[in-house]
């Protein structure tokens, strides 16, 4: 059945698209729109184009990308709208995104629901608008707004769309009724093709501004600059030439690895939220408790409050609670200041927050998340106290970064309700949530955690239990290689720069200084010294022992001026490095930046493949989701597993083997999965384990 149906209301033709879940502009939709226009009765005075379900068109159908195009293309469907002998009114609810906005711009008028938004998010997929967005939008709304929308990808509100001429009217109540009334007031004489409008005025300063902005804030990405080029061309080219130029730039982006990487992440992020096996209904989680009102507890509580839950914050002292409460209040008040939240909304949210020092007050909780000091004995105590007061079905979660979730669950009655919820700091901002399934965690509890993640607008990925779970276990290999290269002759500055040039937001040494070097130091004290490469951290340990703990003490790998986070070179650090190198009798060598990147990336990839082979991660794409959302891995490289596929698994294996030969195979034994996939020609980022299916 066609997703497109029509109905006549007097002489107004209402074209309705019903293509769940989000009305992507798939082939059947495009074909249906063209057919509907062709079949319009001869006396049609105007038409309304509307979508059923939760949103107007969400854009081109991304799953069709990379396949041979099928006529009518989106541009042809838009042309059919522009050339229809009657005006067409787009009735926009939900979001009109990408091709969805482009189709609306091909209509003669746009009526929007007051809550609707419109945007050109193609850059988030490594693309630029490819169906006229960069040419029609500036003709309607001017260059400056078109440059911003096409290069930044952020949607704008209906109010802003009205103010800038994108929308012609906002529906007072019923959108369809308003659009219909609007269409009834128009006749064939009101036809006005956007393409026939004059060129927008050139805005050189806006072009320069957005180019500089893209170079700085979207470092390494090609799509924002291409989008700016396309919009800039709209000022000088006639519409046909402008559309042709846009098409060329669009196709260049589409064939680039950056877009393949970002499209991979788009689907990976949606897949990571899905559990394998039969669908399980989640538990309703409405009343939450958070133990610990430090930085993590505060961020977790804020995330839960934003998701609409009521939250009880527990800490040992009134003073600690008051400090935590104040920090949560500040988070939401900042949202009010920035115009993201109303005063009333802020009061409603804070009205759902309570504080207590008594475990007995948590008895009615649906879920409790502990965020206390990272010490297994303390965690055991917290869980023992909790188990005494909460119901048997209450979900018990630990926000540990490294500790054994199974060991914590073991001492609790009904261990199937215990799991890890590993938030990243600051928890109310970072998008990643690693959901750690213990050996006994039930499918229902896991499904509940995934749904909670979605409510908190996080990207959730499931990890099995191991030291550091997916993200930190892999990070330890990356950090190890960085530490070893430091001993072998590279400077922190060179290593940091090589990795930021690769696209990481920060290098490992700047990051270490920022996080505090004492954290890793304390963690290492608890580890079996045989379980990690101690040499890699000799410099780190020496710095901590000299009270050079990073930014907080004014020095670490770098030196910092008071009140300034800029890492400065420091001769005192150079002395430390020289001393450690000479104690180790290391003969120094020169590194080039590609050596540095390769060693760190191969470390990540090999460990990621081992994690996948062990079933700790279910899917290669889940690992990419973890790295892109929790560790700042450049999205345009798709995550470590996708990056491995980009360079080729044979080349990855050759690199790992070369490292094993040079540095010994203690840390460089190739993962068996890598060997198998390189042999079979399969992709690491598409690999899914069979062993992870939930019973
Ligand atoms: C474009 O338009 C290029 C043009 O300029 C030129 C072309 C020539 N296609 O996100 P959700 C699926 S580029 C195919 O969980 P929400 C999604 O995979 C496009 N599938 O829902 C998921 O599937 P599943 C520009 C799509 O309510 C399901 O729909 N547009 C598409 O949280 C539900 O998605 C964009 O970049 C699509 N376009 O959020 C917008 N969109 O259930 C991309 C979604 O199997 N989409 N799916 O996992 C979004 O940002 C969000 O999906 C949206 C809804 C905000 C619409």
Q: Is the pLDDT of residue 266 over 60?
A: yes
Q: What would the DSSP string read from start to end of 52-111? A: -TT-S--EE-GGGTTSPP-SSPHHHHHHHHHHSSS-EEEEE-SEEETHHHHHHHHSSEEE
pLDDT in tens, 416-463: 999 999 999 999 999 999 999 999 999 999 999 999 999 999 999 999
In angstroms, the Cα distances linking 42 to 7, 39, 47 are: 14, 9, 12
Best residue among 19, 29, 51, 59 to mutate for probing ligand 1's pocket (most ligand atoms within 8 Å of CB) is 59
- For residue 169, the cross-strand partners are 111
pLDDT in tens, 538-550: 999 999 999 999 9
Average pLDDT for residues 273-284, to the nearest whole number? 91
Instruction: Report the candidate in 48, 3, 45, 7 with the shortest Cα–Cα distance to residue 26.
Output: 3
Cα(608)–Cα(78) distance, rounded to whole angstroms? Answer: 45
pLDDT in tens, 148-199: 999 999 999 999 999 999 999 999 889 999 999 999 999 999 999 888 899 9
Q: Is the pLDDT of residue 515 over 80?
A: yes
Q: Is 101 in the pocket of ligand 1 (CB under 6 A)?
A: no
- pLDDT at residue 63, rounded to an integer: 93
Average pLDDT of the residues of the chain: 96
- pLDDT at residue 560, rounded to an integer: 98
CA–centroid distance, 21 to ligand 1, in Å, is 9
User: Nearest residue CA, atom 41 of ligand 1?
Assistant: 58
- pLDDT at residue 172, rounded to an integer: 85
CA 380 to chain centre: 33
Cα(238)–Cα(45) distance, rounded to whole angstroms? Answer: 29
Cα(250)–Cα(488) distance, rounded to whole angstroms? Answer: 45
Instruction: Report the candidate in 496, 530, 684, 661 with the shortest Cα–Cα distance to residue 607.
Output: 684
For residue 359, the 8-state DSSP code is: G
Q: Is the pLDDT of residue 116 over 50?
A: yes
Average pLDDT for residues 614-629, to the nearest whole number? 97
Q: Is 415 in the pocket of ligand 1 (CB under 6 A)?
A: no
pLDDT in tens, 385-397: 999 999 999 999 9
Q: Is the pLDDT of residue 91 over 70?
A: yes
User: Nearest residue CA, atom 18 of ligand 1?
Assistant: 267
pLDDT band at 695 (very low <50, low <70, confident <90, very high): very low
pLDDT band at 694 (very low <50, low <70, confident <90, very high): very low
Q: In the numeric block, which tokens belong to residue 377?
A: 């004995």
Contact yes or no for 627/640 (Cβ under 8 A): yes
More confident residue, 593 or 695: 593
Cα(509)–Cα(204) distance, rounded to whole angstroms? Answer: 39
User: Nearest residue CA, atom 43 of ligand 1?
Assistant: 58
Q: Is 129 in the pocket of ligand 1 (CB under 6 A)?
A: yes
Which ligand 1 atom is at minimum distance from the Cα of 131?
Answer: 6
CA–centroid distance, 485 to ligand 1, in Å, is 42
User: Nearest residue CA, atom 53 of ligand 1?
Assistant: 58
Which ligand 1 atom is at minimum distance from the Cα of 62?
Answer: 9
Q: Which pTM value belongs to this model?
A: 0.95
Contact yes or no for 569/493 (Cβ under 8 A): yes
Instruction: Report the candidate in 437, 425, 459, 455 with the shortest Cα–Cα distance to residue 629.
Output: 459
Which ligand 1 atom is at minimum distance from the Cα of 267?
Answer: 18
CA–centroid distance, 150 to ligand 1, in Å, is 17
- pLDDT at residue 278, rounded to an integer: 86
Cα(10)–Cα(43) distance, rounded to whole angstroms? Answer: 10
Average pLDDT for residues 346-368, to the nearest whole number? 97
CA–centroid distance, 122 to ligand 1, in Å, is 11
CA–centroid distance, 299 to ligand 1, in Å, is 29
Q: Is the pLDDT of residue 595 over 70?
A: yes
- pLDDT at residue 691, rounded to an integer: 55
């Amino acid at each position: 059945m066609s997703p497109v149906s029509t109905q006549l209301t007097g002489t107004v033709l209402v074209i309705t698209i019903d293509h769940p879940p989000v009305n992507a502009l798939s082939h059947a939709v495009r074909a249906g729109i063209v057919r509907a226009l062709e079949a319009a009765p001869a006396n049609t005075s105007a038409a309304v184009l509307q979508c059923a379900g939760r949103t107007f068109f969400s854009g081109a159908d991304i799953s069709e990308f990379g396949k041979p195009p099928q006529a009518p293309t989106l541009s042809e469907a838009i042309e059919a709208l522009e050339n229809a002998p009657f005006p067409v009114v787009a009735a926009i609810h939900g979001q009109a995104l990408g091709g969805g906005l482009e189709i609306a711009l091909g209509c003669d008028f746009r009526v929007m629901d007051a809550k609707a938004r419109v945007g050109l998010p193609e850059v988030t997929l490594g693309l630029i608008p490819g169906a006229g967005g960069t040419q029609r939008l500036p003709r309607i709304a001017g260059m400056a707004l078109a440059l911003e929308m096409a290069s930044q990808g952020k949607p704008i509100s209906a109010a802003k769309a009205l103010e800038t001429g994108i929308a012609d009217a906002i529906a007072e109540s019923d959108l369809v009724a308003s659009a219909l009334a609007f269409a009834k007031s128009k006749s064939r004489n009101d036809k006005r093709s956007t393409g026939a409008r004059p060129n927008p005025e050139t805005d050189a300063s806006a072009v320069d501004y957005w180019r500089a902005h893209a170079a700085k804030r979207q470092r390494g990405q090609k799509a924002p600059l291409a989008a700016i080029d396309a919009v800039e061309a709209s000022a000088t080219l006639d519409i046909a030439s402008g559309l042709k130029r846009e098409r060329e730039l669009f196709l260049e982006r589409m064939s680039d690895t950056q877009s393949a990487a970002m499209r991979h992440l788009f689907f990976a992020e949606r897949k990571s939220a899905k559990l394998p096996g039969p669908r399980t209904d989640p538990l309703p989680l409405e009343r939450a408790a958070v133990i610990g009102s430090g930085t993590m507890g505060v961020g977790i509580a804020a995330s839960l409050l934003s998701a609409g839950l009521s939250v009880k914050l527990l800490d040992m002292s009134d003073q600690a609670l008051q400090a935590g409460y104040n920090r949560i209040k500040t988070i939401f008040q900042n949202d009010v200041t920035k115009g993201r939240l109303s005063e009333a909304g802020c009061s409603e949210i804070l009205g759902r927050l309570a504080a207590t020092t008594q475990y007995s007050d948590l008895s009615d909780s649906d879920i409790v998340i502990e965020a206390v000091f990272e010490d297994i004995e303390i965690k055991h105590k917290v869980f023992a106290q909790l188990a005494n007061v909460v119901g048997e079905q209450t979900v018990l979660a630990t926000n540990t970064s490294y500790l054994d979730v199974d060991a914590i669950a073991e001492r609790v009655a009904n261990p199937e309700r215990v799991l890890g919820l590993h938030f990243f700091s600051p928890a109310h901002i970072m998008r990643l949530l690693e959901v750690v399934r213990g050996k006994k965690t039930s499918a229902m509890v896991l499904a509940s955690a995934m749904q909670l993640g979605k409510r908190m607008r996080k990207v959730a990925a499931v990890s099995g239990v191991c030291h550091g779970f997916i993200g930190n276990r892999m990070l330890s290999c990356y950090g190890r290689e960085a530490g070893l290269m430091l001993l072998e002759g590279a400077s922190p500055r060179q290593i940091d720069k090589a990795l930021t040039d690769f696209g990481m937001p920060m290098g490992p040494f700047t990051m270490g200084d920022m996080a505090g070097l004492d954290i890793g130091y304390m963690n290492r004290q608890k580890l079996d010294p045989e379980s990690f490469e101690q040499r890699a951290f000799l410099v780190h340990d020496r710095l901590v022992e000299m009270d050079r703990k990073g930014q907080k003490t004014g020095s670490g790998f770098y030196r910092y001026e008071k009140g300034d986070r800029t890492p400065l070179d420091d001769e005192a650090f150079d002395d430390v490095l020289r001393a450690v190198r000479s104690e180790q009798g290391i003969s120094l060598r020169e590194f080039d930046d590609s050596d540095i990147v390769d060693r760190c990336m191969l470390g990540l990839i090999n460990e990621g493949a081992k994690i996948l082979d062990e079933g700790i991660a279910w899917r290669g794409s889940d690992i990419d989701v973890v790295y892109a959302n929790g560790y700042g891995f450049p999205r345009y490289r798709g995550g470590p597993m996708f990056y491995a596929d980009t360079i080729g698994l044979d080349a990855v294996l050759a690199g790992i083997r070369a490292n094993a030969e040079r540095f010994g195979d203690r840390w460089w034994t190739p993962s068996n999965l890598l060997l198998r996939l390189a042999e079979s020609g399969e992709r690491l980022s598409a690999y899914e384990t069979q062993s992870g299916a939930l019973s």
